[in-house]
Structure 1
Amino acid sequence: MAINIEPAVIPHLVVSDSAAAIDFYVKAFGAEELGRVPRPDGKIVNAAVRINGSTVMLNDDFPETCGGKSMTPTSLGGTPVTVHLTLTGVDAKFQRALDAGATVVVPLDDMFWGDRYGVVEDPFGHRWSMGQPVREVSPEEIQTAMASG
């Protein structure tokens, strides 16, 4: 039997507590758990959820596989990566993430590039931007807005 593999780019997040992260993503983003592989001690080696139609993989932190270094955003002092969600009903979904325990990084607002946009940080240190296109904006309008901003 041949295995069909579709090309994909899938974020793979390292968290301090995968079970709690899965629960958070279900509450905050309406994630659907696709599966998890726990070790006998309960730490999760690999898990997957579907958020906004896309797969996100995650696992518990295993410093022993990374030269003794923890790889969570919290232990690293933050993250340079933001996972972006293009949504409809962004106001309600942004509030849902806050109600589930996320914190505001960039308040939700109408942006010069035409999106209603904001950024939250989850309890595990990962950042999630949320945007909903609300109006068409020309490249010239964007340049003018940036020059005057």
Structure 2
Amino acid sequence: MPEPQKTTFAPQLNIQSGVTNIDFYINGFGAIELRKWLNDDSSIHVAELSIDGAVFHLHEETLRLGSFSPERHGGTTTTVGLFVPDVDAFIARAIAAGATEISPAQDYDYGYRQAKIKDPFGHLWMIEMKI
């Protein structure tokens, strides 16, 4: 008998049309590319990635459906929270690969160590761990 699937959360992040290189996520986040679908011009239509088993998707923006990349409007309405074993090491790797630090890692009285970065495609990430 197959094991029942558990509920998981897999955000879909929109990227501008024409993007061909998503190596930032592999080099900066240690993501593994699970699969991807390309357009006729070899740009990315959809890519499925995983960071230590946490799956997320990159999808080219679809203007007619109101799915915009952060670059189109100079901002985003979402911050993706990613819990990792070592915030400082994760942030250092991401910044070395091209992320921009928004707020440095620090401990908060509610029991988390957190830092915020922006990836090269304009997505905001809250990198965090329980302390």
- Residues 15 and 69 in structure 2, CA contact (< 8 A), matched pair in contact too: yes
Indicate the SS of the match to 1:120.
strand
Please state if 1:110 is matched with 2:119: no
Which residue does the alignment assign to 2:125?
Answer: 128
Partners of 2:8 and 2:91 lie apart in 1 by 26
**Pairing of 1:1-149 with structure 2 (within 5 A):** 7-16=7-16, 18-21=19-22, 23-63=23-63, 65-66=64-65, 71-134=68-131
Partners of 1:26 and 1:58 lie apart in 2 by 13
- Residues 50 and 56 in structure 1, CA contact (< 8 A), matched pair in contact too: yes
Could you tell me how far 1:5 is from its partner in structure 2? 6.1
- The CA RMSD measured in Å over matched residues stands at 2.1
Partners of 2:67 and 2:30 lie apart in 1 by 28
- Residues 70 and 76 in structure 1, CA contact (< 8 A), matched pair in contact too: no
Name which one, 1 or 2, has greater alpha-carbon Rg.
Answer: 1
Indicate the SS of the match to 2:46.
strand
Tell me the matched-pair count: 128
Higher relative contact order (CA 8 A, sep 6+): 2
- After TM superposition, the score normalised by the length of structure 1 is 0.76
Indicate the SS of the match to 1:93.
helix
- After TM superposition, the score normalised by the length of structure 2 is 0.86
Identity %: 34
Partners of 1:133 and 1:110 lie apart in 2 by 9
Could you tell me how far 1:105 is from its partner in structure 2? 1.1
Partners of 1:72 and 1:59 lie apart in 2 by 9
Could you tell me how far 1:47 is from its partner in structure 2? 1.2
- 1:24-70 Cα deviation digits (max 9, x unpaired): 0001110000011112111222110001321101122343x44xx77
Looking at secondary structure, tell me which structure has more helix per residue. Answer: 1
Q: Which runs of 5+ in 2 are unaligned?
A: none
Looking at secondary structure, tell me which structure has more strand per residue. Answer: 2
- Between 1:7-16 and 1:98-107, the stretch displaced more is 7-16
Corresponding letter in the other structure for 2:83: T
Partners of 1:53 and 1:70 lie apart in 2 by 25
